[in-house]
Amino acid sequence: MKKSRTLFESFLYAISGVLYSLRTQRNMRIHFLAAVLVTATGKFIGLNSMEFVAVIFATSLVIITEMVNTALETVVDMITEKYHPLARIAKNVAAGAVLMAVLNALVVGYLIFFARVQPLLLELERVLSGR
């Protein structure tokens, strides 16, 4: 019979999974860095609570799907080392889920940040052009 885990052990295993993803997956590091930068920028420009929640949800969705993609790819690789069309489909669909989450995050980011950043960009353009 399998030994039951404590709640603390479960958290340690979960943290281990996050750290594994960060250590081994280039795209996870890119997504994580982007999430940190977008979150910091949101705090800096003073997003309201709802805007900030939308940004957090969008960036979290990207990180979550990247981790699920990593887990699925690992399981597929564990099951077969040979080419199999179903393995390719499973990996491509999981990667597609990450792509959809990224596109969602880009749309959310555009809708939230553009209105706030556009006046700054116009002012920067005016200053640089000497008008």
Round to whole Å and give the CA distance between 53 and 71. Answer: 27
Sorted by sequence, the CB contacts under 8 Å of residue 38 that are 6+ apart come out as 55, 59, 109
For the chain, domain boundaries: 7-129
Structure tokens at 56: 């957090």
Q: What is the pLDDT of residues 16-47, one digit of tens each?
A: 999 999 999 999 999 999 999 999 999 998 99
Average per-residue pLDDT in the chain?
Answer: 93
Question: Is residue 2 over pLDDT 80?
Answer: no
Q: Classify domain 7-129 at the CATH topology level.
A: Helix Hairpins (1.10.287)
Would you say 32 and 67 are in contact if contact means Cβ atoms under 8 Å apart?
no
Active-site residue numbers?
A: 66
Q: What is the pLDDT of residues 48-64, one digit of tens each?
A: 999 999 999 999 999 99
pLDDT band at 81 (very low <50, low <70, confident <90, very high): confident
Question: Is residue 5 over pLDDT 80?
Answer: yes
